[in-house]
Structure 1
């Protein structure tokens, strides 16, 4: 029975992670990231949270013009619905671009601004032919956020998490595509040999 207890203890420690230590550099890092919430990006986080329902309804309506089995939809939705360990939606600040009035410097620093809303519109207009094209726009959105925000900020950490999730999903979808291509080749090869007999 002690063997059964061990995995659950491991899981618990994984879930709580570094925060359970409370001291040292991890604690300091957490405190320093909190102070960024007091700076202007907190306002856009709040604005994004206020628009959360709008963003959700946008995402729901995407299924009206895209099949949920479409790999492009799946990659987009994986990023849009990305959540942290506490179950909070971390893609909220990316639903819309920052306000030009509140963040004029954003538009001076970022030469090609893009948000999930614009990516969704491009999906609707069938502007993406491949997963690579969609991934390029998602990466542009992430890199913009990384350029504008300091590395230790909460928003920067969200970006790293979302990029990680996107890359894993892209690999999974690409692998699935390769397997399906392989199946087609195998079935056509067997049908050819069958017909020659």
Structure 2
């Protein structure tokens, strides 16, 4: 894969290369994980996996007086996991310590857009992420972990695509003026002024 326009993130022997762009529902997400095999073996790493996740999370708190109730729900939209490297299964080309492992996931076409809303006693999110995990079994050994959130927007409808193409060709219809006027003031006690906009 071409690494142009791509951000890189490293934890120990593992590096994730992922284009830093907004994603569209239905598109294929491609990236690459580089494993420094010599370092991974010294680091007691058994394998490297990549995960793609999409989740909806809602939390509402209700209560009166001393009684409080928390309503918490999570919905898994997408959860896919692939093993990219296992100890002893693949080696880098001669003269190199780096094994490059490309990957790709396809977003479902009906994926809802990324979303975040937080208010008094309520919280709701729709999140997507790519996560790379280098597993290091054993007591007191932390896994190597890289997690990158993704921003997802809905795909354009056929009517929206036609409108976009039409706008590219220029407006050939009639032009009309639109005017709006509003009375406004600064703060609560300030003097009134008039704002007028004409398009």
TM-score range, shorter chain: under 0.3
What is the TM-score with the length of structure 1 in the denominator? 0.27
Larger radius of gyration: 2
Higher strand share: 2
What is the TM-score with the length of structure 2 in the denominator? 0.26
Higher helix share: 1
